């Protein structure tokens, strides 16, 4: 296969994954469990990152972050809209960085394991992507929206009677079911992700 043909296939493939990220995240904006949306968007990000490398992973994550940011600005995501009204710059930075980092790190993890243990590479990339995405969001919320974080936590304390423990609040409320669902989806789809990667590398797709 000529170099120009491969570049064309890469461009087309990346365009398809970009479109998938946009569509899936737009749908996810309206699918919520608790405070935050549940997203399937990390699946095409992981696949694209594994197929096309760290730059592509970061690009797909960036697109994911932009769509999330638009939902915040338009108040389609009410919680994100609240953060945008409080601090537009940090909200934008947080959305973009967490998405781009999730795709970039997923690609690095897959590439590190690709030759010796490709299956493990896919699984680890699928696991690390939601961890990075959620971890950066929680860290950013705690660091840059401290008053809002404390207000939410105290509201939770008042309604549940639990102690005011930031780590407990992050695990049970901010991360909670959403993170587990996203992680579970990525793990369940890992065999399919691996098959897509193998077919692509063989030139079958």
What residues contact residue 11 under an 8 Å CB cut-off, 6+ apart? none
Question: Which residues of the chain, if any, have pLDDT below 50?
Answer: none
Residue whose tokens read 């992981």: 46
B/e letters for 137-161, b = 16+ CB within 10 Å, e = fewer, are bbebbbebbeebbeebbeebeeeee
At residue 1, the pLDDT reads: 53
Q: Report d(CA 67, CA 65) in Å as an integer.
A: 5
**Helices 42-52 & 176-188 angle (0-180, nearest 10):** 50
Q: Report d(CA 109, CA 94) in Å as an integer.
A: 22
Tokens of 93: 């930075």
Specify whether the CB–CB gap between 182 and 135 falls below 8 A: no
Q: What is the pLDDT of residues 118-166, one digit of tens each?
A: 889 998 998 999 999 989 998 998 899 999 888 888 888 888 887 888 8
Q: Report d(CA 6, CA 17) in Å as an integer.
A: 16
**Inter-CA distances, 200 with 51, 99, 197, 204, Å:** 8, 24, 5, 6
Model-wide pTM > 0.75: yes
At residue 38, the pLDDT reads: 67
At residue 160, the pLDDT reads: 83
- Tell me the three-class secondary structure of 43-70, residue by residue: HHHHHHHHHHCHHHHHHHHHHHHHHHHH
At residue 69, the pLDDT reads: 96
The answer as to CATH 1.10.10.10 being correct for domain 3-202 is no
Residue whose tokens read 């690709």: 114
């Amino acid at each position: 296969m000529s170099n120009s043909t491969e570049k064309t296939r890469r461009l087309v493939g990346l365009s398809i994954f970009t479109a998938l990220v946009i569509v899936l995240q737009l749908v996810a904006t309206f699918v919520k469990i608790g405070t935050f949306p549940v997203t399937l968007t990390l699946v095409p990000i992981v696949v694209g990152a594994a197929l096309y490398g760290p730059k592509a992973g970061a690009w797909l994550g960036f697109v994911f972050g932009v769509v999330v940011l638009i939902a915040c600005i338009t108040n389609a995501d009410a919680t994100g809209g609240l953060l945008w009204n409080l601090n537009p710059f940090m909200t934008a930075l947080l959305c973009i960085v967490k998405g781009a980092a999730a795709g970039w790190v997923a690609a690095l993890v897959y590439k590190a394991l690709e030759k010796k243990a490709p299956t493990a590479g896919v699984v680890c990339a699928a696991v690390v992507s939601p961890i990075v995405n959620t971890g950066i969001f929680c860290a950013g919320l705690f660091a840059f929206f401290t008053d809002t974080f404390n207000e939410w936590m105290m509201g939770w304390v008042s309604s549940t009677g639990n102690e005011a423990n930031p780590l407990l609040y992050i695990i049970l409320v901010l991360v909670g079911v959403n993170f587990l669902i996203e992680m579970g989806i990525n793990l369940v789809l890992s065999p399919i992700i691996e098959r897509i990667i193998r077919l692509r590398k063989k030139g079958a797709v």
